[in-house]
Chains A and B, each alone.
Chain A
């Protein structure tokens, strides 16, 4: 098993490639890897309650650790206690932690 850190800075509403990125995260997890998908910048927009998840639910179901950057959530007025089940708010420290541990990291 390998460890991956995927950083998604874009949302699936403006950029179709994001759905491919979600599928990549799922496929890595289904293949038995430990995968974190860190949503940042507009990447957190699907984390608003009621937003269309456009494939993000499958990512959650596949066992990927889906995290939303606290600053990006706050900047967009998305309350951290209303995130969909399976998405957790997290500080950017997590990214530095996982880079430091040597995970395979991809800025998507």
Chain B
């Protein structure tokens, strides 16, 4: 394992309307497998990523029922990233911006994701080797 580092990410987008979710998940996955300590500050629509009420559904265009389609949901990927970080000796701490949660009614987050404030982002940034802000466009 490479030297343990701490990286902080801030993301702003909901799961699907753009490509940044994919890239950020790839970065988190890569860093988690190195055993890094990771912090994610979910701002604005990104608070929907770990929303626990997401559910699988059939895909008639693919001709699949929900089980056959077996489409991974963002909340499951977030949970898996948290587990992957832990498995490799690191940690992934996830904070949802509390006011953003309130505005969107996204209160039910999966285990491992908690509510916080922009002050948490600043605190994390000071404690991290680097911080990447992934703004929305």
Contacts and interface: CB of A to CB of B under 8 A. Distances in A.
Interface of A: 7, 9-10, 40-42, 69, 71, 92-93, 95-96, 99-100, 102-103, 105, 107
Contacts of A103: 130
B92 interface: no
Interface stretch (B23-31, B60-68, B83-91): B23-31
A100 B5 contact: yes
A99 B34 CA distance: 13
A19 B135 CA distance: 18
Majority DSSP secondary structure for residues of B touching A: mixed
Contacts of A100: 2-3, 5, 7, 31, 36, 129-130
Majority DSSP secondary structure for residues of A touching B: mixed
Contacts of A92: 23, 26-27, 30
A103 B23 CA distance: 19
Given A41-B19, A92-B30, A100-B2, 15 more contacts: A7-B132, A9-B20, A10-B137, A95-B27, A96-B31, A99-B27, A99-B31, A100-B5, A100-B7, A100-B36, A100-B129, A102-B130, A105-B131, A105-B132, A107-B133
A103 B19 CA distance: 24
B23 A40 contact: yes
Nearest to A97: B2
A7 B133 CA distance: 11
B111 to A, nearest CB: 26
A99 B23 contact: no
Contacts of B23: 9, 40-41, 69, 92
B130 A99 contact: yes
Contacts of B27: 92, 95-96, 99
5 contacts: A41-B19, A92-B30, A96-B31, A100-B129, A105-B132
